[in-house]
Structure 1
Amino acid sequence: MKRYLLLLVCLLSTVLGAYAQQYILSGKITGQKNEPVAFASVYIRSSTYGTTANEEGVYHFKLSPGTYNVVYRLAGYAVKAETITITDHDEAHNVQMQDEEFRFSQVSDKWRNNQDPGDTIMRMVIAKRETHLNEVKGYSCAVYIKGVQKLLSTPKSLRSAAVTRALDLDSLGRGILYQSESLSAFNYQSPDKVKEITIASRNAGINTAFGYNKASDLQANFYHNIFSIPGLSTRGYVSPLASNAFNFYRYKLIGSTVQNGQTIDKIEVIPKHEYGQLFKGNIYIVEGDWRIYSVDLMLRGKSNSLNLVDTLQVRQQYIPITDSVWMPVSVLFNFKGSVLGFKFGGYYQGIYNNYKLEPAYPDGFFTGEVLRIDTASNLKTPAYWVANRPVPLTALEIRDYEKKDSAAAYHKTEAYLDTLQHTKNGINYPGYLIFGYNASNRTEKDSLYIYPFLQTFYYNTVEGFGINAKVRYTHIIDDFHSFAVTPALRYGFSNKIFSTNMLAEYRDDPFHNSKYWVNFGSDVLDLNNVGTRSLYFNTLSTILSENNYVKYYRSHFGAFGYQREVANGVLWSASLNYSSRTQLYNTNLGHLVDVKDKEFTSNNPLAPAGTPPDDRSFLFPENQALSFTTAATFTFDQQYITRPTGKFNLPSKYPTLTVTYHKGFEGVLGSDVNYDFASADVSQYNIRIGLAGYSAFKLTTGGYFNNKRLYFMDYYHYLGNQGTTFDPTYIGSFHFLPFYTYSTNGGFLEAHYQHNFAGSILNKVSFLRSLKLEEIIGANFLTTKGNPNYREFYVGVQRLIFRVDYGISYAGNKKYLQGIRIFYGIR
């Protein structure tokens, strides 16, 4: 532990040490026409200390007294090195950079006889790709991340006083929507262990779509075969240095130049296909070492399947840390886009300082915690940021911070809080219809959620028309403790059954996902305990097509449970449940819409086909059940973020294993059940398959090794589907499987696989390309003792929340069903 604390102190000292010197070197960088040179890298030669100019070409950083060789670099301009002496005062030093001159000089005569010198050079680089990728086994550095999202123009028709005021726009409809910055200590150990400690963070405004606010978000490494851009594309992009890059790119040598005794070749990257996951632009290579010197590449939304933005420029600068190791000193993501006539743009940049190669990390340093945010990171004063940020703010950014800080102070006043509470608690009726209604007090420690209208009023053949009124009240005690209660009232006007129940939850340790819960009362429940159709969709199918798919029973119950992450990646839960169950029958068989040759079915799901809907056949006697359930979920290589308010787990790149055990106790408190059930579930989502999208799968097996006495609701059920709509958000669901037919009290095996090509096929069809559709294929399988070898196969297309699938299913050796299934965001 002492070694860990010592290393942490050293890292913090490293991050802040570079900024704790006495004097400031500052100035403005311009080009040949006196235009500002934005985002130019500025660093001290033979060191790993530097900065980047802001959008206006202004730079500054702190230096001790002495003489320095300061290097100014940016793709498109010739590198400039200046000798600057710092004495006993701040030093202003403006620089004018010349346009880059890459030409076929004597230095590059050896390439003249090659028909494709650019290709020849890139073959050398690609041959050394893995060497450069793996040459550093570990490092630490200080990282500064800066992000700005701006509105560049607003349609005149929408430039009202209210919009201008709300977004703080100027007379031309321009303004900053969001800006953020952070200072972190970043640590890496091969092959993929990272740990970042955020020392300071600040943001103002609303992040409208996407963001990169931590160092690991901007780890742009073109030595990997596939370059990923989270948030902007579901697919990866082929790196110009990929091992198979010549299948996708041509390369043209523009020319060469000599910088600090090294020959730098400028290579134009030319995609072989206009549309695809390919970059275009320039890459600069250190000749002889055959490594990246800098990168200036571009992606376009229509050509390269970008979401949210129209263009994305990726710039990166490398510097030598030692004679044989180069590392990035800066990276820039520069973007522009438009939506509904609003034009926006912005950037995210990362600056890397004070590299330490191969640090001796103590045992247990890399625990899966990829980011720890210091408790005081967002409490730093404006004076702290002025003293420690390596990139000066522009005048517009300073004004934006000041205005938003002033607005934030006003937003804490009594008058504003009173007005805000009244405004935000106003009901939006269309929103309430689908999403429900939220209200909270001024401190937001107390909130009330009323469930949507679509889940409140319903119709089925057992209860007729009914009301299912449900609300959730939440109280936040402090940052680590909260509780919520959810009372519900349900009444069926046809069977006259009134039910009331309440769920209460108490969370006491957000760092271990700890939760207690109690649930008691009475309710009308689905015989399939994993769910079939929502009240809304069952109402529609019952009224419009006379398909009363869901079968109900009555339960009086009481239950309590507990869950906790007992170790990183191991979530354990347990619950005890007691219930009294009663069979129900159809009581309302009236036709609101008379469907020809169609009739309701019995509420007994096992009744033979043709059984009249008013059937009162026996399914189970009134019974009592005391049962115990425990489960453990193992997430291998669990990575997580630690914030001051808790631990937040991230998706793992490995499968997740869940082991479950159910026990029914006979003779205890009058319980009638006696069974033992166990299952194992292996699943994984978002398995990246190169350029071809991503896959997901789920495999579950289990069964009853004691089934002496149990009832239909105690069977193992599946997430089937009947009707045209379906819910594809869960990989373990079926498209055509009937809700109750395959439910079992024996053994089973179910398997699900789905692959999303993320547009890699339809993007090649010109008239479909602009739709940005995602192609999907999948298969589902189930086998049980009584119903072996049920299979489904499907294809589909998806865009945002909308999806349409066509599939076919087989029961044993016979075709069962085929047809279309749709999803439009409502479950």
Structure 2
Amino acid sequence: MQKVPFCTAILLFLLPCVVFAGELKGRITDAKGEPLPFATVYVKGSTIGTAANASAEYRLPLTPGKYKINCQYIGFQQVVFDVEIKGDEVVAHNFSLKEQALEIKNVVIKANAEDPAYAIIRKAIKKRKFYQKQVSEFQSSIYMKTVVRNRDMPEQIFGIKLVGNDEVLAESQGGGADSNNLGIMYLSEQEIDYYNDGKRARTIIRSVRESGDPNGLGLPEVPPVVSFYDNNVNPLWGITERGCISPISENALLYYKYKYEGEFIQDGYTINKIKVTPRRLYEPLFQGTIYIVDKEWAIHSLDMILTKTANLTMIDTLRIEQTYLPLKKDVWIIKNQVQYPTVKLFGFDIAINFIAVYDNQKVNEPIPDSLFQDKITSSYEADATDKDSSYWQNKRLLPLEDDEKRDYKKKDSTYAKYTSPEYRDSMRVRGNKFSPSKLIMGGYSYRSKGIKHTFSTNSALGGMVSYNTVEGLSVSPQVRWAGMLDTGKYMKSVVRARYGFGNTHFNTYGRLSYLNTNRAWRTRKWEIGVEGGKYLFQYNPRNTITPLYNTFTTIAYAHNYMKLYERWTAAAFFEQNFGNGFKWSLKAGYQRRMPVSNTSFFTIVNDERTRWTNNVPATLDKVVWEEHDAALVKVELSYQPGIKYIQYPKFKSPQYSKWPVFRAQYEKGVPGIANSKSDFDRWLFAISDYMDMKLLGGIEYNASIGGFLNKNYVSLPDMMHVADNQLVLASPYLRSFQLAPYYMYSNVADMYGELHLEYNLNGFLTNKLPVFRRARWNVVTGANTLYMDNGNYYAEAYVGIDNLGYKIFRFLRVDVVRSWDSFNNTGWGVRIGIDQGMIGLVSGVSVNEDNEKFEW
């Protein structure tokens, strides 16, 4: 290996500390003049370099001096160019690379003999841990460019004409599209310092520019360096649920086939080219080419691709290109990484480029511990968004392509238009337009000028119109209001009215609160408020059946599952979220509870009389239920340790934690206050978590234990009610019981416990079955158990198929459930699960925040 002259070495040492004065630039092509996008250009013997852009144009800032410049591209011969930079001159030089001539030496191919690639791969696998662990501390400067392009689109979607639509065209052209609505959808550039001490990582974003938004923040975290030295590779923020198996993982020979394609010499190293193909389709496996350094058995470079046959979840393909450089003996460091995800959906063809150029890398040099304090994984410099175009003209390592230049110019010029008060007000007026579909599906909303006030209603499918045997036909409109008092300070209210045509009762309920949010710390807030009125409530405060479901089962099957009571309420509450994983709430109130009876019995079935049930559940008919008053106090705490943060220029935002969520709750019925009869003490402790088992799938659990310390007077609404379900539509799997009859297992036990456990194989085992792997179905299994003192219990187990649907819209699952209990009751059933985020208004257990807050 050629030594670097002493003077050049000194110059390279000083290079990062001074301002670049000169520049080397040009274009990189093959022998036929075809561009070689993202080729690597670097100063020989150093970590200083750059990469070409998608048009194969490059620029390399340099201080005055003499240099040997290496240019290389995967599959092509390396070229070395001697250059001298004088002052601030710009030297133009185009590189022309020839395809790499491969030699096959000392290899005798015999029939049925093992391909020579396997011996090379075995040696690379043997040394995998060495390279995985050799870099205990790593730091680097990174230039990153993110480009999202729309390459094709349908003529119309969901009835909206896209091609030839002047309004759509005007807005898309303002966003950088061409006359065919194609072009750049998103463009950003970032300068980043990256630090990793082997256990902790920290990203510092020095500067960022986002096309069309001078305050744009780009990506807060760099796409991770995809380390193929890891057994399980998780590229691009986990686009596969199980991760992917590296071509040199410990068990790679069980998953891949290899073919030796030859070798070549570069800088004194012998580089082996090996073709990699999966042994089976529909497993998380790569295909492509990997180059292994002979004798050292390190990765020299690679070009790998994942397709739908690797069970990608959100994208169609992902291509990864990496280039490594020798820093010193046995130390190869990442120089360039380009990831190309593509998405094809409903006629759209979206291509994304994440280009990361690593510069000034340092290996195993001490990193100040202060960089990893405060649990911040990524942060922005205060002036990160203040750099102008002239700054970027001098700093960017990848020259802009023609369409990128146009995109910056067009979007920056139209920014003022799309952020002007006039334009925003026109969008507000458009959004305020009323339509019957809004009232039916999602509710109507109205925003005032300046967004100082917002009003919204519930929808017909969300419970505005329903039917139950207590009220008959019920109309229950709801109006929400939020008003901004000051920056981060709001007044909020919810008003509900309800009229039953069967019992002729008119009820109203309201809630008024003050919300104070911390603009410098997202999710850090507190809220104080009052609520009161008279309304109908379910005995089970978990609201295990929604008005829409109950309307259907009552009219279609004469199953009036929803059981209601009427109450007057006056209450006050306080809630606080510290933004660090800890939150708590306190609520105190006084209630008058009044039994109600069935008044209406409309159904379309003929044997309805054998199906109707009283409004008091038959399993609880011996529980004392009378009109009474109740004074109640409830406190709840929740904590998830280990929360990580991103520090943006103007605020901090919590992100994630690997720890479980711990929750504690205590509720007391206080006798003797006015006419309060309630006299009980109930407690609960719960823990929930998700455990990622990589290729084996994932396990999620929710466990709780609780009981009554005192139960002198426990009324129906104060009992421990489980989240039961008798509908074919599944209730949330980790919070409920799929076959438990309503109110069958409500209790006042001194001690009770719940465990909800689910194992999603995420393709493990089932990818061996042709039908499952082509359809991308996953097997899921689990169990739900309830224990009450005196040996009483209820349990159920289920197995099902998850990930049913089309393309990215996979929100369905089907389960077969078997149940049994200590009373010798057994049952089985089929449940159809719908993702709660997709179903929204008609979920099995209430996900409406206001509903939950109104309940106890």
What is the TM-score of this pair, normalised by structure 1?
Answer: 0.89
Contact preservation (8 Å) 1:502, 1:520 = yes
Aligned residue identity for 2:760: N
Q: Quick check: 1:34 aligned with 2:46?
A: no
Counterpart selection for 1:506 from 502, 515, 524: 515
For residues 801 and 63 of structure 1, the distance between their equivalents in structure 2, rounded to whole angstroms, comes to 53
For residues 306 and 761 of structure 1, the distance between their equivalents in structure 2, rounded to whole angstroms, comes to 17
Deviates more, 1:340-349 or 1:567-576: 567-576
For residues 819 and 333 of structure 1, the distance between their equivalents in structure 2, rounded to whole angstroms, comes to 46
Deviates more, 1:495-504 or 1:271-280: 495-504
Q: Quick check: 1:776 aligned with 2:780?
A: yes
**Residues 444/316 of structure 1: CA separation in 2 closer, same or farther (3 Å cut):** farther
2:547 aligns with 535
1:642-678 per-residue CA deviation (whole Å, 9 max, x = no partner) reads 3356443334333222222223322235433332222
Q: Quick check: 1:465 aligned with 2:451?
A: no
Alignment of 1:367-406 (within 5 A): 367-406=374-413
Contact preservation (8 Å) 1:279, 1:298 = yes
Aligned residue identity for 2:297: W
For residues 380 and 290 of structure 1, the distance between their equivalents in structure 2, rounded to whole angstroms, comes to 43
Q: Quick check: 1:294 aligned with 2:301?
A: yes
Q: Quick check: 1:314 aligned with 2:311?
A: no
Shift of 1:84: 2.0
Contact preservation (8 Å) 1:480, 1:646 = no
1:660-701 per-residue CA deviation (whole Å, 9 max, x = no partner) reads 22233222354333322222211112x222223222111111
For residues 569 and 146 of structure 2, the distance between their equivalents in structure 1, rounded to whole angstroms, comes to 53
Q: Secondary structure at the match of 1:297?
A: strand
1:151 aligns with 150
Counterpart selection for 1:675 from 672, 675, 680: 680
Q: Quick check: 1:348 aligned with 2:354?
A: yes
For residues 27 and 518 of structure 1, the distance between their equivalents in structure 2, rounded to whole angstroms, comes to 66
Shift of 1:439: 3.3
Alignment of 1:186-335 (within 5 A): 186-191=194-199, 193-204=200-211, 213-229=219-235, 230=237, 232-301=239-308, 303-335=309-341
Q: Secondary structure at the match of 1:344?
A: strand
1:637 aligns with 642
For residues 471 and 18 of structure 1, the distance between their equivalents in structure 2, rounded to whole angstroms, comes to 61
1:461-485 per-residue CA deviation (whole Å, 9 max, x = no partner) reads 1122212222322345566444432
Contact preservation (8 Å) 2:491, 2:514 = yes
Shift of 1:566: 5.0
1:104 aligns with 104
Aligned residue identity for 2:195: N
Aligned residue identity for 1:805: D
Contact preservation (8 Å) 1:439, 1:448 = yes
For residues 189 and 287 of structure 1, the distance between their equivalents in structure 2, rounded to whole angstroms, comes to 29
Q: Secondary structure at the match of 1:34?
A: coil
Shift of 1:442: 5.0
For residues 234 and 429 of structure 1, the distance between their equivalents in structure 2, rounded to whole angstroms, comes to 40
**Residues 735/643 of structure 1: CA separation in 2 closer, same or farther (3 Å cut):** farther
1:691-732 per-residue CA deviation (whole Å, 9 max, x = no partner) reads 23222111111112222332221222222212111233x522
Alignment of 1:103-182 (within 5 A): 103-105=103-105, 115-155=114-154, 159-162=163-166, 163-168=168-173, 169-170=177-178, 174-182=182-190
1:93 aligns with 93
For residues 309 and 36 of structure 1, the distance between their equivalents in structure 2, rounded to whole angstroms, comes to 27
1:515 aligns with 526
Q: Quick check: 1:627 aligned with 2:632?
A: yes
Aligned residue identity for 1:486: V
For residues 786 and 743 of structure 1, the distance between their equivalents in structure 2, rounded to whole angstroms, comes to 15
Q: Quick check: 1:791 aligned with 2:795?
A: yes
Q: Alpha carbon RMSD of aligned pairs, Å? A: 3.0
**Residues 362/621 of structure 1: CA separation in 2 closer, same or farther (3 Å cut):** same
Q: Secondary structure at the match of 1:504?
A: strand
Shift of 1:761: 4.6
1:9 aligns with none
For residues 438 and 231 of structure 1, the distance between their equivalents in structure 2, rounded to whole angstroms, comes to 36
For residues 273 and 172 of structure 2, the distance between their equivalents in structure 1, rounded to whole angstroms, comes to 42
For residues 754 and 301 of structure 2, the distance between their equivalents in structure 1, rounded to whole angstroms, comes to 50
**Residues 566/440 of structure 1: CA separation in 2 closer, same or farther (3 Å cut):** closer
Contact preservation (8 Å) 1:499, 1:524 = no
For residues 244 and 530 of structure 2, the distance between their equivalents in structure 1, rounded to whole angstroms, comes to 49
Aligned residue identity for 1:637: G
Aligned residue identity for 1:491: Y
Q: Quick check: 1:810 aligned with 2:820?
A: yes
**Residues 440/371 of structure 1: CA separation in 2 closer, same or farther (3 Å cut):** farther
Q: Secondary structure at the match of 2:424?
A: helix
Contact preservation (8 Å) 2:453, 2:484 = yes
**Residues 143/626 of structure 1: CA separation in 2 closer, same or farther (3 Å cut):** farther
Shift of 1:195: 2.0
Aligned residue identity for 2:465: F
**Residues 815/69 of structure 1: CA separation in 2 closer, same or farther (3 Å cut):** farther
For residues 113 and 765 of structure 1, the distance between their equivalents in structure 2, rounded to whole angstroms, comes to 29
For residues 183 and 243 of structure 2, the distance between their equivalents in structure 1, rounded to whole angstroms, comes to 32
Contact preservation (8 Å) 1:480, 1:645 = no
1:10 aligns with none
**Residues 374/797 of structure 1: CA separation in 2 closer, same or farther (3 Å cut):** farther
Q: Secondary structure at the match of 2:775?
A: coil
**Residues 231/53 of structure 1: CA separation in 2 closer, same or farther (3 Å cut):** same
Gaps of 5+ in 1: 1-13, 612-616
**Residues 183/270 of structure 1: CA separation in 2 closer, same or farther (3 Å cut):** same
For residues 643 and 476 of structure 1, the distance between their equivalents in structure 2, rounded to whole angstroms, comes to 24
2:746 aligns with 743
Aligned residue identity for 2:554: T
**Residues 377/150 of structure 1: CA separation in 2 closer, same or farther (3 Å cut):** same
**Residues 737/180 of structure 1: CA separation in 2 closer, same or farther (3 Å cut):** farther
1:4 aligns with none
Shift of 1:136: 2.0
2:9 aligns with none
Contact preservation (8 Å) 1:111, 1:117 = no
Identity among equivalent pairs (%)? 28
Aligned residue identity for 2:746: S
Q: Secondary structure at the match of 1:516?
A: strand
1:740-790 per-residue CA deviation (whole Å, 9 max, x = no partner) reads 221222211111111222234554444454433232211111111267231
Q: Secondary structure at the match of 1:403?
A: helix
Shift of 1:87: 0.9
For residues 813 and 366 of structure 2, the distance between their equivalents in structure 1, rounded to whole angstroms, comes to 49
For residues 774 and 170 of structure 2, the distance between their equivalents in structure 1, rounded to whole angstroms, comes to 34
Contact preservation (8 Å) 2:619, 2:743 = no
Q: Secondary structure at the match of 2:404?
A: helix
Q: Secondary structure at the match of 1:537?
A: helix
For residues 477 and 286 of structure 1, the distance between their equivalents in structure 2, rounded to whole angstroms, comes to 65
1:3 aligns with none
Contact preservation (8 Å) 1:417, 1:442 = no
1:474 aligns with 482
Q: Quick check: 1:654 aligned with 2:659?
A: yes
Aligned residue identity for 1:123: R
Q: Secondary structure at the match of 1:124?
A: helix
Aligned residue identity for 1:315: E
1:703 aligns with 707
**Residues 584/767 of structure 1: CA separation in 2 closer, same or farther (3 Å cut):** same
For residues 433 and 787 of structure 1, the distance between their equivalents in structure 2, rounded to whole angstroms, comes to 48
Aligned residue identity for 2:143: Y
Shift of 1:18: 7.5
For residues 435 and 110 of structure 2, the distance between their equivalents in structure 1, rounded to whole angstroms, comes to 69
Contact preservation (8 Å) 1:239, 1:279 = yes
Q: Secondary structure at the match of 1:377?
A: coil
Gaps of 5+ in 2: 1-12, 157-161, 805-809, 844-856
**How many residue pairs were aligned?**
797
Shift of 1:34: 0.7
For residues 630 and 29 of structure 2, the distance between their equivalents in structure 1, rounded to whole angstroms, comes to 79
Aligned residue identity for 2:515: Y
**Residues 340/563 of structure 1: CA separation in 2 closer, same or farther (3 Å cut):** same
